[in-house]
Amino acid sequence: MPAPPKSSSGVPLWGQFPAGGRSLLRDLPVLAAGFAIFYGLLVFARYGIGPVNTQAEIQLAPGALPKYAFFSVTRIAIAYFLSLGFTLVYGYVAAYNSKAERLMIPLLDILQSIPVLSFLPPVMIAMIGLFPHSQLGAELGCIVLILTGQVWNMTFSFYSSLKSIPREMHEAAEVYRLNWWQRLWQMELPFSAIGLIWNSIMSVAGAWFFLMACEMFTLGTRDLRLPGLGSYLQTAANQGDTHSIAWGLAVMVAIIVVIDQVVWRPAIAWAEKFKFEQVEAAEPTHSPVLDLLRRSKLLPLVARVSLRPAGEALNLHFSRSAMAAAGKPQERKSTDWIWRSLMAVGLAATGYAVFRMTQMLAQVSSAEALGIVRGAGATFLRVEATLALAGLWTIPVGVYVGLRPKLSALIQPVAQIAASVPATALFPVILLFLIRTGGGMGVGSVLLLLLGTQWYILFNIIAGATAIPTDLKEVCGVFRMGRVERWRKLFMPGIFPYLITGFITASGGAWNASIVAEYFRFQGKTLSTVGLGAVISQATDAGNFHVLLAATISMAAMVVTLNRLVWRRLYGLASTKFKLET
C-alpha cells in the first residue's frame, strides 16, 4: 500500500497539489468530467442564441444521436435545477408562513393534478413571445414544460420534510440563534436531502416519460420541433422507421442507466449521512462512483481553497448581521398591510381570471361537453382497469419475490433497469406489434399506462413483503395455516400500506400519462381513442383553448376528488390499522 503523500504546512498552494502519476490517474475521470461539462455548456449556449429554427429537420441517422441526446439531457438538467430552485423557495415559504401555507398547499395539490400538455399552449406562447428572435424562446418553453412535469412532487417532499423537523431541533436552532443561512445548510437541507433525492429521481424519470411530447408538438397551425432524443423518437415513429426507433431507444436506455450510476447512486449513498436516526444503519448503500470521488485528492483540495473559505466568510457575514439586528430593540414592523394588499391583488386577479375562464368555458358547445364527459368516464375506467391489471400480476409476483431475500437481490436491479425505460419510448414498438396482431388504440393505451405505472406498485409490494416480520411468518407455520389463510391473515394486511402507497403514485401517474397514451402520431397517422387525455391532446394540437381549459379542469377535479375521497382515506387506514409496529 503506498504511503499517503505528506504535505507540510507552509508549502505554497500549488505545492499542495498531489504529485505523482498515480494520483493524477486517479483524478483523471474527475478532471475529464469537468471539462466535458464546460464544453457542453458552450455548445448549448451557441445554439441557444442562434436564429429561430423551430422546424428543425430531424435526421434519423444514428450518427446524429449523440448531439440529440446531449440536447435532451441538457434540457432535462436545466429544467431540473430550475425545479430545485422553485422547490426550495416555494417549500420554504409554505412551511414557515402559515398564512401563505393555507393557500399554497391546496394550490400545489391542484397544479400537480394538471397534465403536462395542458401547460403547453400558455407556456409556449409566453416564451416565444418573450424571445421572438432567438431559439431561446422555444427552448425555454420546452424547458418550462419539462419543469411542470417534475417540480410538484419535489416541492411536496421538501415542504413535508421541513414540516417534520422535530420541535426540539427547531428550538435548539432558535435558542442558539442560528441565522437563516446556517439553518438552511445545517438543518433544513440535510433534513430534507433524502426525500429530495428520491423525488428528484422520480421527477427526472417523469421528464424522460414526457420528453417526446415536450420536444415535438403542434400548436394550432404551428408545428414545433426541437432537436433532441424525444423528437428523434417521435419522428422515427411518425415514419414507422423501426430501425431508428431501436437506435433511439438504445441510446435513451443507455443514458438513463449511466445517469443512474453516475448521479443518483452516488447521491443516495452520500445522503446516507443525513438519515435522521440516532443509531447507525446496518447496511449502507454503496456506490463505486462515490468511492472514486471520495478517494480523489483533487476535490478536497479544491474545496479547501474555495468552498470552505467562502462558506466561512458567508457564515460569519450572516451571523454578524443577525447579531447586529438582535441586539437592538426590535421595531415591530407591521407586515400586515403588505399581506392585506397582496391578498387583495390576488383576490382581484383570481376573480378576473375566474370571470374570463367562465366566459371561455361558455364557448364549449354541448357536443364538446358531451365529449369531455364521455372522455372522462372512459379515462376513469381505463385508469382503474390499469391499476387492477397491474395489481393482478404485481401482488403475487411481488410477495413471492419479497419473501425470498436471495431472489429479490437478484431481481431488483434488473427490474429497476426495466422500470427506468420510459414507456412512451416503447410505445411505437408496442403499437407496431398491436397493429400486426389486430389490436387498436384501446388496448394500446391500457398497455402503455400499465407499462408506465406497474413498477411503482411492484417495488412497493416487494418492499412490503420484505418488511413482514419473521416471527409472524413463523406463527403461520406453527398454526399450520393454509395458503389462503396466510394470504388473508398475513400477506395482504402486511403489504397493505405499501400497496396503497404504490397505488396512489400509480394512479396519479396514470391520469397524467393518459394524455400521451390515448393520442399518438404514428406512421403518418394520428391514432386516438375515447378519453379525456385524447381530448386534451387534440385540443392542444388544434389550438382549441376553451376545450383544453374545460378538459383540464375536469381532469384536475377528478384527480383531486379521487385523492381526497378514496386514496387519502385508504392511506389513513393503512397508517393506523395496518401499520406493523416494530
**Are the beta carbons of 226 and 142 closer than 8 angstroms?**
yes
| Stretch of residues binding other proteins (CB under 8 A), selected from 150-158, 318-326, 483-491, 516-524 | 318-326
User: Around Cβ 404, how many Cβ atoms within 10 Å?
Assistant: 14
**Closer to other proteins at the Cβ: 260 or 272?**
272
Beta-strand ranges (E) seen in 44-148 are: none
Query: Could you tell me the smallest distance in angstroms from the CB atom of residue 423 to other proteins?
Result: 37
Q: Is 323 in the site for other proteins (CB under 8 A)?
A: yes
Q: Is 329 in the site for other proteins (CB under 8 A)?
A: yes
| Nearest partner of 81 among 110, 132, 41, 51, judged by Cα | 41
Please work out the total of residues on this chain that contact other proteins, with binding judged by CB under 8 A: 36
Q: Is 572 in the site for other proteins (CB under 8 A)?
A: no
Q: Using CB under 8 A, which residues numbered 505 to 524 contact other proteins? A: none
| Nearest partner of 156 among 205, 107, 224, 214, judged by Cα | 107
**Closer to other proteins at the Cβ: 171 or 291?**
171
**Closer to other proteins at the Cβ: 270 or 380?**
270
| Stretch of residues binding other proteins (CB under 8 A), selected from 76-84, 151-159, 317-325, 385-393 | 317-325
Query: Could you tell me the smallest distance in angstroms from the CB atom of residue 314 to other proteins?
Result: 11
| Stretch of residues binding other proteins (CB under 8 A), selected from 13-21, 172-180, 218-226, 436-444 | 172-180
Q: Is 174 in the site for other proteins (CB under 8 A)?
A: yes
| Nearest partner of 552 among 537, 563, 536, judged by Cα | 536
Q: Using CB under 8 A, which residues numbered 260 to 299 contact other proteins? A: 273-280
Pick from 330, 334, 437, 470 the residue near other proteins by CB under 8 A.
Answer: 330
**Are the beta carbons of 362 and 423 closer than 8 angstroms?**
no
Q: Is 470 in the site for other proteins (CB under 8 A)?
A: no
Q: Using CB under 8 A, which residues numbered 190 to 209 contact other proteins? A: 190
| Nearest partner of 385 among 531, 487, 565, judged by Cα | 531
CA–CA distance, 505 with 507 (Å, rounded to integer): 6
Report how far apart, in Å, the C-alpha atoms of 454 and of each of 68, 120, 257, 409 are. Answer: 29, 27, 19, 19
Pick from 1, 42, 61, 175 the residue near other proteins by CB under 8 A.
Answer: 175
Instruction: Retrieve residue 469's grid coordinates.
Output: 416480520
Phi, psi of 70, rounded to the nearest 5 degrees? -60, -45
Q: Is 320 in the site for other proteins (CB under 8 A)?
A: yes
Pick from 11, 36, 45, 172 the residue near other proteins by CB under 8 A.
Answer: 172
Pick from 171, 223, 291, 474 the residue near other proteins by CB under 8 A.
Answer: 171
Amino acid at 118: S
Give one DSSP letter per residue of 472-526, joined into a string: HHHHHHHTT--HHHHIIIIIHHHHHHHHHHHHHHHHHHHHHHHHHHSEEEETTEE
97 three-state secondary structure: coil
Q: Strand 525-528 relative to strand 216-219: parallel, antiparallel, unpaired?
A: unpaired
Q: Is 186 in the site for other proteins (CB under 8 A)?
A: yes
Q: Is 166 in the site for other proteins (CB under 8 A)?
A: yes
Burial of 140 from C-beta contacts in 10 A (0-12 / 13-18 / 19+): buried
User: Which residues, 6 or more positions from 401, have their beta carbon under 8 angstroms from its beta carbon?
Assistant: 407, 408, 411, 462, 465
| Stretch of residues binding other proteins (CB under 8 A), selected from 323-331, 352-360, 361-369, 416-424 | 323-331
**Closer to other proteins at the Cβ: 61 or 282?**
282
| Stretch of residues binding other proteins (CB under 8 A), selected from 8-16, 111-119, 310-318, 351-359 | 310-318
Q: Using CB under 8 A, which residues numbered 203 to 262 contact other proteins? A: none
Q: Is 99 in the site for other proteins (CB under 8 A)?
A: no
Q: Which residue has the cell 419522428?
A: 235
**Closer to other proteins at the Cβ: 308 or 340?**
308
Q: Is 169 in the site for other proteins (CB under 8 A)?
A: yes
Q: Which residue has the cell 449502507?
A: 284
Q: Strand 216-219 relative to strand 519-522: parallel, antiparallel, unpaired?
A: unpaired
Pick from 134, 218, 315, 528 the residue near other proteins by CB under 8 A.
Answer: 315
**Are the beta carbons of 560 and 110 closer than 8 angstroms?**
yes
**Closer to other proteins at the Cβ: 34 or 166?**
166
Instruction: Retrieve residue 411's grid coordinates.
Output: 431481481
**Closer to other proteins at the Cβ: 313 or 344?**
313
| Stretch of residues binding other proteins (CB under 8 A), selected from 324-332, 346-354, 470-478, 534-542 | 324-332
**Closer to other proteins at the Cβ: 218 or 315?**
315
**Closer to other proteins at the Cβ: 315 or 523?**
315
CA–CA distance, 496 with 474 (Å, rounded to integer): 20
Torsion of CA 524, 526, 527, 530, to 10 degrees: 180
Q: Is 313 in the site for other proteins (CB under 8 A)?
A: no
Instruction: Retrieve residue 549's grid coordinates.
Output: 381549459
| Nearest partner of 255 among 422, 143, 93, 116, judged by Cα | 422
Q: Is 417 in the site for other proteins (CB under 8 A)?
A: no
Query: Could you tell me the smallest distance in angstroms from the CB atom of residue 190 to other proteins?
Result: 5
**Contact residues for other proteins (CB under 8 A)?**
166, 168-169, 171-172, 174-179, 182, 186-187, 190, 273-280, 312, 315-316, 319-320, 322-323, 326-330, 577
